[in-house]
């Protein structure tokens, strides 16, 4: 029942959360070196995700979670508009995320 809570899934969620946090720093007065270092850590995390999950599904899941998380930050934190087309795209991304984990 809880077989999706393995090391690879935890690492995937942690790296994606770090990317979302890094993206949220883009509109703040944070020094570019901090963002550069965080993206370096993301690259290492993505390497381990691909090693654990495989190139296709690991990278696809990482990208989908990053898009969904970034969209939520843009909508709630930066108060950007979310159209029906954007919402439908996010729903389809979540469906594909579910299908990748089958």
Q: Give pLDDT tens digits for 12-23.
A: 777 778 877 877
Scored b (16 or more CB within 10 A) or e, 24-35 reads: beeeeeeeeeee
- d(CA 32, CA 24) in angstroms, rounded, equals 13
pLDDT of residue 1: 44
1-50 tens-digit pLDDT: 455 566 777 777 777 788 778 777 777 787 777 777 777 777 777 777 77
- d(CA 46, CA 58) in angstroms, rounded, equals 8
- d(CA 27, CA 48) in angstroms, rounded, equals 29
- In the block, which residue shows the tokens 């390497």? 47
57-82 tens-digit pLDDT: 877 877 887 788 778 878 887 788 88
Does the pTM of the predicted model rise above 0.75? no
Q: Is pLDDT of 87 > 80? A: yes
| Residue 12: strand, helix, or coil | helix
Q: pLDDT-based confidence at 85, cuts 50/70/90?
A: very high
């Amino acid at each position: 029942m809880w077989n999706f809570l393995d090391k690879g899934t935890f690492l995937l969620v942690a790296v994606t959360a770090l990317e979302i946090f890094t993206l949220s720093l883009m509109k703040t007065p944070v020094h570019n070196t901090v963002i550069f270092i965080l993206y370096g850590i993301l690259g290492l995390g993505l390497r381990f995700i691909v090693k654990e999950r495989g190139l296709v599904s690991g990278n696809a899941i990482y990208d989908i979670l990053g898009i969904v998380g970034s969209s939520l930050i843009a909508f709630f934190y930066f108060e950007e508009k979310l159209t029906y087309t954007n919402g439908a795209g996010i729903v389809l991304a979540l469906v594909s995320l579910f299908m990748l984990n089958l």
